[in-house]
Each structure stands twice: as structure tokens, then as C-alpha cells.
Structure 1
């Protein structure tokens, strides 16, 4: 008689499918794409927090009339280094986030497939697995994203308020000052809209998996067949465009909550004030530099991930 599986056996089975190869491959993709495209992320965030109304914070901020004007203004005021403010937490955050996301997602996916990597789980299960992976990853990395946003929003001019706790010399100094002035809660500003943003990753991964499945079915390949670089680039870019066009507003809300120069009561207040003073357009500020950044960034990340993971898995 076969032995019955206990609850512990089920958990062991799940963790047995979590592979370090996926972690390393995801971290590699995240690091490379972030280093290359960080300047566009910086511009996107600066556009996102511009409320378009008179306030102390708006007076302190530089004004950009458009994407090209932002590039020239930052270069003239801050030089090349100005485009790389906040790059350290961005690289650390992206490296950890992509690595953890790919590791958790593929571990749960393989568990659900019961070890058969050729089994198609369908869009519903794929969205659920991606959402679960996103929540876990966000809980572990949100402090890094807060620090990144704060450093990106350090402008070239001295702040009129001259608050030393809002001026940071680097990543670790930023984390330390956030803790001293705001406590643990400071590390989780923007966490709620980040939870909403998990839908972004879920839609992106679902679209990416569906595109690969449709392509494999069309050419009569197995689902785990290694594809070419062009296919991975195309599927990564298309899936990101799809997810970004639907979920971008949460990034504006999240960036404004994390801005050290402006204090809000929460998600509802940000959404209400954005709608009141800027209308629907306000929720899409920074969309152009965001798409210019995330589309190639995701394509690069997925290509590097697929190539590295296939290499590591073949050596395992």
C-alpha cells in the first residue's frame, strides 16, 4: 500500500522545486538591464511626482517641459552623474526583485505542473502564481524601492527646509535616516499601491507565458523548448507594453507616497488630489520615459534570464 502524503510532504515537494538557478538568472537579467537604463527611470519618477500645482515641494523641484527638456536640464544642472542618482538601490532592488520573482514563480509553476515542464497551466493559474510571487517579492524589497525613490528625488539645489534627515549621501545613509526619522513604517511607504502593482507583474508574466505557449503551439514545439534571442526579446517587450498600459497609474501614486518632499495621508488622498488638480492625465505622468525604459529593460531581462537559466539548468 502506498504511503499517504502528509502536509509536510506537500510543503517539502513545493520547496524542492525552488531552484537557485532561477534566482541567479533573474538577478543577472535585472542587474544588466537596470545599469543600462537607470537614467530613464530617474526621469520617469521626477515626472511622476510633479503635481502641477503651487506648493513648497513644487517650488523646490526643477521644472521640465518635456522629455528632451528634462534630459538637457538634468545634464546642465547635475552633469552625467545626475542621471545616476539612486542607481545603487535601483540595481540592488532590481537584482533582488527579479531574482526572487523568477525563483518563486518558477518554483510554484513547476510544483503545479507536478514536475512536467511541458504542461500548460493556462492564463488563470499563471496570473495567480505571478501575483503570489509578486507579493512575497515586494514585501522583501519595498525598503530598497523607498530608498531608490528618495535618492532619485534629490535635486541639484539645496532644499529650503534644510532638513538634514531628508538629504542623503548614499544608499545606506538613506536607509539609516529613514529609520531614524520614520521608523520601520518609513520603509513601507508606497507598499499598498505596490500591492496593487502586483497585478502589473501578474499580467506581464501571464502575457509572456501565453506568447511563448502560442508560439510553441504554432510551430509544434514543446512548451519547454529553448527559443531564440529575437523571440525572447519580442515576447518580453510585448508583455511589458501590455501590462504597463493597463497598470501605470499605481506607479505615480506609489512614487508620490515615497517622495520625501511631500507628505500625504495615504493612497486615497494621493488619488483624490491627483484627480482634483491634474485629472486623468496626472495618473500617466512619466509614461513616455517609463515605456522607453521598461520595454527594452524587460526584453533584456527576459533574454538574459532565459539564456542564463538554460545554461545553468543544463549544467545542473
Structure 2
């Protein structure tokens, strides 16, 4: 196997994504429901994220907060695993002439965009299923029996095109991962230099948490609008003609604030999720034996 393709990255990424999703899925559900809450479509309306949480809990309890968790676990695990795998493979290939020399900023960003695009191509149908399962409102009854039912129903209605709704804004969202990994990698190199150790050395828990939190905060805040656009394109309760329609409709009806609906819940979820994911990833990369791959 080529040195560029280290499967430890995939296994470690899957473990990190699954762990964080199992713990924090309810915040993802709250973020999705609040981000599509445009006040126009026929769906429950919520005055705040706390009001949304109480409503879900009152009607379905703990189980209601985990609607759509299966595709989220599968999607998150696969996404992180594939992203870490593709990213490190591309980065290794770019630096093969001199592995001691870190990539340039442009190379980091290119690796992030390419990795995000390849990952999205593999996982977009799973994310649509997750979005639609999270948007099965209690009062409306269940439309889908599960992830596979949602995917097959989408395929029957719209073919392959139906499985890739929201793919265009998702591609724009690859900038999120590119920014996050650029910041994280730069902080990781800075931390290693500060401590006079190898960048591959085991990192302290606080260092991993602090660096992953900072990188996620910067990336999430700067690229959040695409997630709102993507969620609205993928939901089943309102039909948009395309990317331009959802952008113009959101701007006309809600102004710039509409593009940041659910940001608070998103940050509450993604920052801890990123810390858990990256800590799990770093520890597994350190402890997994080479013979495992």
C-alpha cells in the first residue's frame, strides 16, 4: 500500500465522528429545525431554541431529541473518516519531495476543498436523509420509517438528482473544512515548535481541545450561511426552485439574519463535537499500531 494512503486516518476519523454524534445529536436536531424555521411554511413555529427543545421533549421525550440519529451517526462517521483519509493522502502527496516542509497556505486550502468535495460526493444522500428525519415533526406523523426508506423514496421521486439536493451549497461549504484544517494545522505546528517537539508527538488534552475549538469557531462563524441554505434546499416541507431562489427568498423575508438562524445552537454543538472528534482522532492515531492498517 502506498505511503500516501494510511488507513489509520480513516479509522480514527470514523471513531471521532461517531463518538461526538452519539453525545451531541440533540443539538444538531435543534439547529436544523431552528434554521429552517422561516415563519412561512406549514410547520411548527418556535419562539426560541429553548421553546423548540421543550416542545420536542414534551411530545416525544428523550427519543424525540434523537430523531434522525442513525443517518447522523453513519454520515458523521463516514464524513470524518473519509475527510481525514483524503486530506492526509493529498497532503502527503503534495509534500512527498520534502516531508519535513509543511504545505503552503494555498496547498492546505486546496487539500481541504478537494477532500470536502470527495467526501460530500460519497455522503450527500445520507445527509439529506438525516435532514428529513430530523424534520419529521411530532404533530405531522412519521413520513419515513428510517434512513434507507428516506433515501429510496427520494430516489423514486427524483432519481439521482433527488439524492444530491443541496450539493451545490455543500460544495461551497467545503471552504468550512478547508478553513478549519488550515487553522488547526497551523496551530498544531506552532504548538509543536513552542514545545520543541515533533508535530507527530502526542499532544496534551488541553492543547487538542483548545486548538480544535479555536479552528472550529473561526470556520463555523465564517461559513455558516451555506448550512442554512443547504438545510432549506433539502427539507421536505417547502420547495425551492434552486440555490438562487432560496437565497433571494431568505433575504426578502428574513434579511441577513435569516442566514444565521440556528448559529447559536450550531456553535454549542459543533465546538464540543469538534473537540471530541479531534481528541478521539489524535489519540487513536497515536495509539493504533502500524500493523493495524
Normalized against structure 1, the TM-score is what? 0.89
Judge conservation of contact 1:119–1:223 (CA < 8 Å) in 2: no
Give the structure with higher Rg (CA): 1
Counterpart pick for 1:47 among 24, 30, 34? 34
What is the CA deviation profile of residues 94-121 of structure 1, one whole-angstrom value per residue up to 9, with x for unaligned ones?
A: 0000000001111111222217654321
| 2-structure distance, mates of 1:22, 1:206 | 17
> Is residue 2:61 matched to residue 1:79?
yes
Counterpart pick for 2:105 among 95, 100, 123? 123
| 2-structure distance, mates of 1:123, 1:221 | 22
Judge conservation of contact 2:39–2:45 (CA < 8 Å) in 1: no
Counterpart in the other structure of 2:19? 32
**SS of corresponding position for 1:226:** coil
Counterpart in the other structure of 2:6? 19
Counterpart pick for 1:272 among 235, 248, 254? 248
| 2-structure distance, mates of 1:298, 1:313 | 24
Q: How do 1:104-115 and structure 2 match up within 5 A?
A: 104-114=86-96
| 2-structure distance, mates of 1:198, 1:188 | 15
Shift of 1:180: 1.1
What is the CA deviation profile of residues 97-146 of structure 1, one whole-angstrom value per residue up to 9, with x for unaligned ones?
A: 00000011111112222176543213221111111111000001000000
More divergent stretch after superposition (280-289 vs 72-81): 72-81
| 1-structure distance, mates of 2:228, 2:134 | 14
> Is residue 2:247 matched to residue 1:298?
no
| Cα separation, partners in 2 of 1:313 and 1:17, compared to 1, 3 Å | farther
Q: Which runs of 4+ in 1 moved over 3 A?
A: 115-118, 313-316
| Cα separation, partners in 2 of 1:225 and 1:122, compared to 1, 3 Å | farther
| 1-structure distance, mates of 2:148, 2:10 | 24
Q: How do 1:1-316 and structure 2 match up within 5 A?
A: 15-53=2-40, 58-59=41-42, 61-114=43-96, 117-158=99-140, 167-315=143-291
The count of corresponding residues between Structure 1 and Structure 2 is: 292
Judge conservation of contact 2:37–2:46 (CA < 8 Å) in 1: no
| 2-structure distance, mates of 1:183, 1:256 | 19
What is the CA deviation profile of residues 47-101 of structure 1, one whole-angstrom value per residue up to 9, with x for unaligned ones?
A: 1111123xxxx33x22211122111111002211111111000000000000000
